[in-house]
């Protein structure tokens, strides 16, 4: 069963309601079962032998975006995603995970990504930096990846993209916890990146950047290059005058802080710098920066599209309460989720494409 550490967190959360108002899944489903507290209670009951780990309990553990909004708000330092991930490991090991989850895992085993698709080649063999595209941008939002590479070219940066880019391990970790298969993927990925010998790896998807920067070292597979988020890298190119935008007024927009930039990196300024350079006048949604509400993840969209689309619609509702008509994002997973339910009269903007229009 789950570790003592995870159980300790579950035991504390089961009595507590303090972060329930921040859970985007609870908001959109209205289910008590989807509060962090309820998931802690389920595991507590399991450890006391008063409940069985069955398919319903497993399903509840997957109705979570692992967005860390609860963790960020917890003044006592407890972490629901810690026990939720471990419960997912149990679900997979005991063949209780939802069929759609198992399909994603099978796709990873067969193709290296949750889509079971072949990643396209970006035909880039430059010598300054390696750009890690990630499976979501490669398979589902390739225009964002191409726009990013065009920006680097305009800035005079010679970029390389691995032809057979290995998975970072991020998707598998969300599906079945931090198991050996995830560290195996991480090692292969780090080896491929290190083999390029390039000094910098720019990571397009902040979810990939998070696992690389915050977990690889503890697994003994540190990336030798400096790992930089794509947003921070382009913001620096703007600051250094390598990209010089023409003045163009595009109206009011609000930046969506994705889960990892918001809560793992606390990186807020670069995406706003890019948005301003692209011509937007910025306003803010109520839940912003560290408190930003999740709009869903690509993996959750794959195994539970209905709930994830509702979560994305919750983020659109936040935008609708501002004067802005444009949701601005530089994250492929956020773009993919938000694109499922764009309200009439609103626009979803990929900031790399928008910046390309003015530089
Ligand atoms: S994470 Fe913290 S605030 Fe949320 S339920 Fe657990 S103990 Fe309470
Ligand atoms: S990680 Fe996010 S979705 Fe999951 S319980 Fe916490 S707030 Fe809810």
CATH label of the domain that carries residue 181: 3.40.50
H, E, C per residue of 75-117: CCCCCHHHHHHHHHHHHHHCCCCCHHHHHHHHHHHHHCCCCCC
| 188 and 282, same domain (yes or no) | no
Atom 6 of ligand 2, nearest CA residue: 70
User: Is residue 343 over pLDDT 90?
Assistant: yes
What pLDDT shows up at residue 68? 97
The tokens describing 280, both together, are 């937007």
Considering the domain architecture, whether residues 172 and 93 belong to the same structural domain is answered as no
Q: What's the Cα-to-Cα distance from 49 to each of 52, 140, 266, 279, 285, rounded to whole Å? A: 7, 43, 40, 59, 44
160 and 196 Cβ atoms separated by less than 8 Å: yes
The answer as to whether 57 is a domain residue is yes
- Say whether pLDDT at 53 is over 90: yes
pLDDT, one tens digit per residue, over 275-293 is: 999 999 999 999 999 999 9
**Cα(255)–Cα(303) distance, integer angstroms:** 26
Crossing angle of the two packed helices 230-239 and 269-277, in degrees rounded to 10: 50
Report the distance separating Cα 58 and Cα 90, nearest Å. Answer: 8
10-26 residue pLDDT tens: 999 999 989 999 999 99
Residue 106 is assigned to a structural domain of this protein: no
Are 19 and 61 part of one and the same domain?
yes
- Verify that 56 and 86 share a domain, yes or no: yes
pLDDT bin (cut points 50, 70, 90) of residue 247 is confident
Q: Identify whether 122 is part of a domain.
A: no
Q: How far is the CA of 198 from the centre of ligand 1 (A)?
A: 42
Residue 30 φ/ψ, nearest 5 degrees: 70, 15
Domain encompassing residue 220:
129-236
262 pocket-lining for ligand 2 (C-beta < 6 Å): no
Q: Which ligand is nearest to the CA of 26?
A: 2
The reply to whether ligand 2 has any atom less than 6 angstroms from the CB of 63 is no
Protein residue whose Cα sits closest to atom 1 of ligand 2: 66
Residue closest via CA to ligand 2's atom 2 equals 67
**Is there a single domain that holds both residue 148 and residue 92?**
no
Please identify, among 97, 113, 144, the residue that sits at the C-terminal boundary of a domain: 97
Residue 238's closest CA among 155, 328, 330? 155
**CB of residue 25 inside a 6 A radius of ligand 2:** yes
Are 262 and 296 members of one domain? yes
Q: Which of 74, 97, 120 is the last residue of a domain?
A: 97
Give per-residue pLDDT as tens, 293-341: 999 999 999 999 999 999 999 999 999 999 999 999 999 999 999 999 9
State if residue 82 touches ligand 1 by the CB under 6 angstroms criterion.
Answer: no
Q: Is the CB of 81 under 6 A from ligand 1?
A: no
Helices (H), 48-199: 55-62, 69-73, 80-93, 99-111, 135-139, 142-154, 170-176, 180-196
166 CB within 6 A, ligand 2: no
CB of 11 within 6 A of ligand 1: the answer is no
Boundary of a domain, candidates 212, 236, 260? 236
Residue 1 has pLDDT above 80, yes or no: no
Q: Tell me the average pLDDT across 96-115.
A: 97
**Does one domain contain both 230 and 296?**
no
Q: Are residues 252 and 205 in the same domain?
A: no
Quick one: which atom of ligand 2 is closest to the CA of 26?
A: 8
Model-level pTM?
A: 0.97
Of 195, 177, 190, the residue nearest 219 (C-alpha): 190
39 within some domain: yes
23 C-beta closer than 6 A to ligand 1: no
Whether residue 164 lies inside any domain: the answer is: yes
In a domain, residue 322? The reply is: yes
Query: Would you state the pLDDT for residue 122?
Result: 95
**Domain shared by 47 and 134, yes or no:** no
Is 104 contained in some domain? no
Closest atom of ligand 2 to 71 CA is: 6
Pocket test of ligand 2: the residue of 12, 25, 315 to mutate, having most ligand atoms within 8 Å of its CB, is 25
Distance 24 CA to ligand 2 centre (A): 7
Counting the structural domains of the chain, the total is: 3
Domain assignment of residue 103, yes or no: no
Nearest ligand, CA 77: 1
Which atom of ligand 2 approaches the CA of 69 most closely?
Answer: 7
CA of 20 to the centre of ligand 2 (A): 9
Does residue 343 contact residue 239 with C-beta atoms inside 8 Å?
no
């Amino acid at each position: 069963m789950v570790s003592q550490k995870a159980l300790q967190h579950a035991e504390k959360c089961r009595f507590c309601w303090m972060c329930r108002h921040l859970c985007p899944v609870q908001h959109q489903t209205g289910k008590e079962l989807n509060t962090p507290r309820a998931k802690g209670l389920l595991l507590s009951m399991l450890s006391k032998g008063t409940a069985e780990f069955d398919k319903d309990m497993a399903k509840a553990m997957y109705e979570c975006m692992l967005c860390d909004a609860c963790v960020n708000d917890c003044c006592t330092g407890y972490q629901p995603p810690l026990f939720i991930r471990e419960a997912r490991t149990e679900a997979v090991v005991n063949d209780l995970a939802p069929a759609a989850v198992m399909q994603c895992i099978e796709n990873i085993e067969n193709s290296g990504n949750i889509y079971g698709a072949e990643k396209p080649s970006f035909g880039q063999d430059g010598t300054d930096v390696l750009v890690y595209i990630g499976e979501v941008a490669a398979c589902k939002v390739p225009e964002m990846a191409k726009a990013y590479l065009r920006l680097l070219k305009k800035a005079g940066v010679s970029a390389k993209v691995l032809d057979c880019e290995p998975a970072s391990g991020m998707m598998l970790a969300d599906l079945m916890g931090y198991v050996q298969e995830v560290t195996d993927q991480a090692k292969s990925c780090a080896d491929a990146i290190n083999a390029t010998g390039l000094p910098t790896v720019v990571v397009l998807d902040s979810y990939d950047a998070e696992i690389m920067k915050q977990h690889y070292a503890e697994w003994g597979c540190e990336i030798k290059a400096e790992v930089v988020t794509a947003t921070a890298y382009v913001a620096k190119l703007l600051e250094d005058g390598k990209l010089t935008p023409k003045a163009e007024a595009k109206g009011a927009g609000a930046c969506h802080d994705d889960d990892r930039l918001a809560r793992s990196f606390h990186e807020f300024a670069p995406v706003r710098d890019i948005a301003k350079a692209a011509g937007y006048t910025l306003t803010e949604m109520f839940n912003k920066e560290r408190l930003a509400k999740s709009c869903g993840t690509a993996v959750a969209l794959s195994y539970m599209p209905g709930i994830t689309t509702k979560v994305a619609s919750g983020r659109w509702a936040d935008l609708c309460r501002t004067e802005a008509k444009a949701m601005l994002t530089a994250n492929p997973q956020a773009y993919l989720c938000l694109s499922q339910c764009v309200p009439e009269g609103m626009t979803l903007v990929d900031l790399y494409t928008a910046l390309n229009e003015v530089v």
